[in-house]
C-alpha cells in the first residue's frame, strides 16, 4: 500500500537507483504518471517529459478499452475482445484517428511551446502510477520504440501480474515494485488516489 503517488514515486526512484538503471530521459504518462516521474527523473539526473496515449473505447461502452493509440498513431488493439463484441473495422479506424488527435493535443498542452524531445538512440525510462489492462502503456511503449529509442525501461509502482508479463514484449526491461495476485484496480493500492488535474500535473515538468 502506497500513501500517495509521491510516496510511490520516491520508492520507485530508490529502486531504480539501487538497480543501477541509467537513462537519457524519463517520459511520464499523464496525468498520474507525472508525480511518479519527477522523483525518478531526479534520481536518474535526467530530464522529464511526457508520452501520451488515449484509450480506444468500445461502442456504447467507452470505459471498456478495445485498444489504445499514441500521439504518433502507434496503436495496440485487443483483437480478441474486438472480435468477441463484434466491433467493425470502420469504427476502430475512426476511433483511432479521433483519439490520436486528442493525444496530440494533450501532449502539446503539456509541453507548451517546448519541442518534442529527440529520443533516437537514447535510453528511455517510461513511468506511470500503475498498470491495469496495459492498453495505454503498450501504445506509449510502441510510440517510444517507433521514435528510435535504443533501450526502453518501463517503471511502475504496481501492476496486474498478467499485464506486467505482457509488457515485456514491448519493453527491454520492466520494473514493477508490486504485482499483487488479487488485482482489480491501480487505486486500491494507494491510500490517497485522487485525480491529478492537468494544471497540477504540468507543475512536475517545471520542477527542478
Shared domain for 23 and 103, answered yes or no, is: no
pLDDT digits (tens, 9 = 90+) for 115-165: 778 999 999 999 999 999 899 999 999 999 999 999 999 999 999 999 999
Shared domain for 44 and 124, answered yes or no, is: yes
What pLDDT sits at residue 32? Answer: 93
Give the span between the Cα atoms of 138 and 122, in whole angstroms.
19
User: Which pLDDT band holds residue 95 (cuts at 50, 70, 90)?
Assistant: very high
Give the strands of the sheet with 123-127, arranged side by side: 48-50, 25-28, 123-127, 151-158, 173-178
Contact call for residues 126 and 51 (beta carbons, < 8 A): yes
Q: Give percent of the chain above pLDDT 70.
A: 98
Shared domain for 139 and 180, answered yes or no, is: yes
Shared domain for 122 and 198, answered yes or no, is: yes
User: Which pLDDT band holds residue 91 (cuts at 50, 70, 90)?
Assistant: very high
User: Which pLDDT band holds residue 208 (cuts at 50, 70, 90)?
Assistant: low
When divided into structural domains, the chain yields a total of 2
User: Which pLDDT band holds residue 206 (cuts at 50, 70, 90)?
Assistant: confident
Residues 167-192 have a mean pLDDT of: 94
Shared domain for 17 and 85, answered yes or no, is: no
CA distances to 35, 40, 70, 138 from 147, rounded to whole Å, are 24, 22, 12, 14
Whether 207 has a pLDDT exceeding 80, the answer reads no
pLDDT digits (tens, 9 = 90+) for 1-47: 899 999 999 999 999 999 999 999 999 999 899 999 999 999 999 99
Identify the CATH number of the domain in which residue 88 sits: 3.30.1310.20
Angle at 190 between CA 193 and CA 20, to 5 degrees: 110
Whether the CA torsion 78, 138, 190, 206 is positive or negative: it is: negative
What is the extent of the structural domain holding 83? 54-109
Nearest to 128 by CA among 97, 167, 98: 167
Give the span between the Cα atoms of 50 and 104, in whole angstroms.
11
Domain boundary among 85, 109, 133: 109
Shared domain for 161 and 82, answered yes or no, is: no
Amino acid at each position: 500500500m502506497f500513501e500517495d503517488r509521491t510516496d510511490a514515486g520516491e520508492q520507485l526512484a530508490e529502486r531504480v537507483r539501487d538497480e543501477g538503471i541509467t537513462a537519457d530521459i524519463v517520459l511520464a504518462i499523464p496525468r498520474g504518471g507525472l508525480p511518479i516521474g519527477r522523483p525518478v527523473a531526479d534520481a536518474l539526473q535526467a530530464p522529464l517529459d511526457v508520452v501520451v496515449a488515449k484509450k480506444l473505447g468500445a461502442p456504447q461502452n467507452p470505459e471498456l478499452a478495445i485498444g489504445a493509440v499514441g500521439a504518433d498513431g502507434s496503436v495496440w488493439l485487443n483483437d480478441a475482445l474486438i472480435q468477441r463484441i463484434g466491433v467493425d473495422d470502420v469504427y476502430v479506424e475512426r476511433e483511432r484517428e479521433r483519439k490520436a488527435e486528442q493525444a496530440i493535443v494533450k501532449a502539446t498542452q503539456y509541453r507548451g511551446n517546448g519541442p518534442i524531445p529527440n529520443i533516437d538512440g537514447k535510453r528511455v525510462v517510461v513511468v506511470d502510477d500503475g498498470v491495469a489492462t496495459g492498453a495505454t502503456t503498450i501504445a506509449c511503449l510502441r510510440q517510444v520504440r517507433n521514435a528510435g529509442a535504443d533501450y526502453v525501461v518501463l517503471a511502475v509502482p504496481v501492476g496486474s501480474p498478467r499485464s506486467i508479463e505482457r509488457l515485456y514484449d514491448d519493453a527491454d526491461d520492466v520494473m514493477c515494485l508490486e504485482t499483487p495476485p488479487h488485482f482489480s484496480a491501480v487505486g486500491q493500492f494507494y491510500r490517497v488516489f485522487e485525480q491529478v488535474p492537468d494544471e497540477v500535473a504540468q507543475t512536475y515538468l517545471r520542477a527542478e
